[in-house]
Amino acid sequence: MMILDLIHKFLNLVAPPFTLFALLFLLPPYQFIKYILSILSTVYSEDVAGKVVVITGASSGIGEHLAYEYARRGACLTIAARREKSVSEVAERALDLGAPDVLVIPADVSKVEDCRRIADRTISNFGRLDHLVNNAGVIAVALFEEIEDITNFRSILDINFWGSIYMTKFAIPYLRRSEGRIIVLSSAASWIPAPRMSLYAASKAAMTLFFEALRIEFGRDIKITLVTPGYVESEMTQGKFIDKTGKVDVDPKMRDVQVSIIPVVKVEECAKAIVNGACHGELSSSGTSLEDALSKKILDYTGIKKVLYPENIWELESKIK
């Protein structure tokens, strides 16, 4: 305990001036370098003509118009959604707009086997995968206290969060092969709290943190574009929500309450901006193995682990080895 007290006192003395030093002398160069890299990234734009793009939730809204935007650029598409008729109509228009081939897969991303099937059929049909667009999502609008049966809202996380994870897991081997990209449709709700949207916001915040972690793990092997739009023309802005009973409802009055005077972006503009951002790409640091991680090397080479970690944990680790 005496050692830990000494460490705490030392950190209390050192941390404040070091933080001030970092803010004054380290942060500005870092921000400047990021700014220069962002400018350089806009010079290069990926040509997706002939490449293969998987889009979930492509039967309406942003997913539908992402399919059209990729089609205009000559990409081959796999489009998946639960509503087979609607997604088939999207496929027809995408072909008219220039997509060389479109594979339609009726699927529910909350089901792990459906996600596996999307990846497998894409590879069987096209032999490659270049962009994965995790777009499928649902929204609930209800005050938390008024929710009648909380178990009816599992679909929010099952579709928004787990659906993206399932799809990503099965796509990883093919994206590594093509040095491809994952486009993640999160939401501004993930960082701007709003009443009646607690569960939806939580699912989107979970997506954001998960893919930020993957960005580090994948490094340059697989790029990640994280999108956090505000209100965009869609079924949601027309009043389609999961209500407090757990059922899908269309309620224009609740739409007016929730959206209010906040501007709603045209879906075509949003889709174009997303694909532009993905094609311009970004530079990211390489992921590292456990043995190569800088944080582990510092602990190993300095011997400070014996000081920082409780003695019983140190002994347990030695026994396991």
Which residues does the annotation mark as catalytic? 200
Contact status, residue 134 vs residue 67, Cβ threshold 8 Å: no
Neighbouring C-beta atoms of residue 23, cutoff 10 Å:
10
| Edge-to-edge strand ranges of the sheet holding 76-81 | 102-106, 76-81, 52-56, 131-134, 181-185, 223-227
d(C-alpha 80, C-alpha 87), whole Å: 7
Specify the DSSP class assigned to residue 161: I
The residues with which 133 forms a beta bridge, in sequence order, are 55, 183
Beta strands in 171-289 (DSSP E): 181-185, 223-227, 240-242, 248-250
d(C-alpha 73, C-alpha 99), whole Å: 8
